[in-house]
Structure 1
Amino acid sequence: MGEKELAELLHLVSRRLRHGYVRRLVPLGLNPGQARALRALADAEGPLRMVRLADELRIVPRSLTPVVDAIEEAGLVRREVDPANRRSTLLVITPEGRVLSERARDARRQAGEELFAVLPEDQREQLRGLLSLVDAQFR
């Protein structure tokens, strides 16, 4: 059968990581897109405009609307009118949103720890370094 290509292996490992992450997000009532939006809002220095959050997430603004609707309905963010531009909406993360963002971050970390537990720490560090090098060329 032969060895798998590097790209195929990376894709398979990435899918396993995502499945482990999703499994841990379900009890939190979040999907990965909602968790990413919360993380971006939690990491921001203040409220973000919808357009800015869409840019941060590398998605088009209309794709963000259902995500924001769901997390707003759950009480994790609130929309406010931007005082600097009355036509713009600011997204403000709530204290509950901050707590859930941290729990989602922990879920991602746990999924990674479970997936990479087969590797000793020095190999995990080596893999982190190699993947960082590859990622850096696209920034």
Structure 2
Amino acid sequence: MPLEIKDWISAAAIFASAIVASVGWVMAARKDRKHHIFQKRLERRLSMLDDVIQAVVPLMNYRVPFEQDKDLPEKLAKARLSVQLYGYMAERTRYEALVEALESADWPKTKDALNELVPIIRRNLREEMGYSYSDFE
């Protein structure tokens, strides 16, 4: 083969290698970015769950929760903000129903709202982490 053809083949091989390496780098960066976003979203959702637990546990365990836990209004406000920022629509709707029931001092409605809110948040987090709901039953 003439020298010119060998040079072109070498140049084409180098060019093809550079394209393959560039495409691989872009795909790896995209995958890494998606994973990073997933991790951050999950961290925020888990902190939301922690805030909701801090607010909900006194409501479920105490007969007079606002007297027995003086920080409960602040916990409820923090949980409300977390749910509004990081919650899904169903979670936000159920939490607002809980707040309305608490503001009207309707305890049966509050218990119903709690019984709807907690399973929804739990199920959504489990799905995000890749667990099936039956794994925990």
Class of the TM-score when normalised by the shorter of the 2 chains: 0.3 to 0.5
- Normalising by structure 2, report the TM-score: 0.34
Higher RCO structure (Cα 8 Å, ≥6 apart): 1
The structure where strand makes up a greater share of residues is 1
Larger C-alpha radius of gyration, 1 or 2?
A: 2
